[in-house]
Amino acid sequence: MSNRLPSGGILPSSLLKIDSASKTAGFDKKYGNNSLRVGVVIASYPTSHEKNIGKLATEYDVLVMEQDKNKSVTPLTYRNCISMDGLGSIADYFEKAFRKQKKSKDKVASQSMVDQDGAVVFLLCLDGSSEKGIIVGAAPHPNRKTKLKEGQALAGEFNGISILVNEDGSANISFNGATNNDGTPVDKNQGTTTIDIEKDGTLQIKNKGVTTRLEKAGNVLLSLAQALSINAQKEASVSASAVSVKSSEGDIKLTSAKKIALEASGSASIKAGEGQFDFSKDLAVKSKSLNVNANSVSVKGSSITLDGRVALGGAGGMPAVTMSTKFFGIGALGVPVISNAIGPFSTKVTIV
């Protein structure tokens, strides 16, 4: 090809040179893309989305700040990338969803992951093809401070549920409710629920209203802000060397659709400020002996029967007369005689 113009001018030979280096670089970019890239997820397409091509798993668009050798950094978007599975079989799998970007600094000017609130991921291309991007892992986000300190520890969180394993073996699982991209709770009034396994094996579950502790020593502690309800479709059994039920402010109520049986092999004691027994049907009290001690006793009924030997009154009290009561008397000559009471008799008797 001649570099001479019809007017007689001569063009620089460099304008007509074939740029084989750029042609090779373009080919390598598309089919020889073997470098590990880092970028931020800017869009996600579940399998039901029309932009999901493979329909195998959720696909992502990843914005990569890419540098080719000594050339300048350029933002490039790798589209419809899939993520590596943790286990990879039909029966065993581990899937997770990456957060897509909702707000960011200027994509071109920043040239970094700072203040890009999507997930920061590592990207490789299958077969070196730029159209087969695969997310192989995630990178620490520059806007998040690490929770790891010295020692053997593990920390993680997903959508408000976090786990922490300390060097001494103790662990904590916390629930804070769904979170925004910056890690703050969507509902700030949700409160926190925690599950703690302490280093001695004690288990504690706690939220705003309830605290339950299962201590390694054998104690079970339950603290409630409101009511406790236990519902069993069949039997509920409590067995202990000693049972104490305490109520500092409210009532204690036992309700059953059928029978309630209270049984003690030893003695039984009930102590209260005042009390009342109310039975819609019969009440039977059976005891070897019965002792009632009160300032006053009132018994009222349409019929009262006392069967057996009855003693009324205290020490030195006078007996009550009956129709067969015998009287000892002195006759006219001073001789003792037997006499009968002749009445009238009272239906009510006060014994002093």
Q: Give me the mean pLDDT over the 52-63 stretch.
A: 95
Two tokens at 149?
A: 């300190």
What is residue 109's predicted lDDT score, i.e. its pLDDT?
46
| pLDDT tens-place string over residues 203-261 | 999 999 999 999 999 999 999 998 888 888 888 888 888 888 777 777 788 888 888 88
The separation between CA 34 and the C-alpha centre of its own chain, rounded to angstroms, equals 46
Element containing residue 27 per DSSP (H, E): helix 20-31
- Residues 279, 133: Cα–Cα separation, whole Å: 80
Report pTM.
0.67
Q: How far is residue 255's CA from residue 237's CA, in Å, rounded to a whole number?
A: 16
Higher pLDDT, 129 or 339: 129
User: For the residues 307-316, what does the mean pLDDT come to?
Assistant: 65
Please give the Cα distance from 156 to 329 (Å, whole number).
Answer: 105
- In the predicted structure, residue 22 carries a pLDDT above the cut 90: no
- Ranking 75-79, 247-251, 336-340 by mean pLDDT, the lowest is 336-340
Whole-number mean pLDDT of the chain? 83
Q: Quick one: pLDDT at residue 297?
A: 84
pLDDT tens column, 25-45: 666 677 788 899 999 999 999
Q: Which of the given ranges, 28-32, 131-135, 150-154, has the highest pLDDT on average?
A: 131-135
Tell me phi and psi for residue 73, to 5 degrees: -75, 135
Q: How far apart are CA 57 and CA 69, in angstroms?
A: 33
Phi, psi of 31 (to 5 degrees): -120, -5
Of 221, 188, 227, which is closest to residue 209 (Cα–Cα)? 227
Predicted confidence (pLDDT) per residue in 62-75, tens digit:
999 888 777 777 88
Instruction: List the structure tokens of 145.
Output: 């401070």
Residue 285: which pLDDT band, with cuts at 50, 70 and 90? confident
Burial class (CB in 10 A: 0-12, 13-18, 19+), 245: exposed
DSSP sequence for 257-288:
SS------SS------SS-----SS------S
Q: How confident is the model at residue 313, as a pLDDT?
A: 59
CB 97 within 8 Å of CB 113 = no
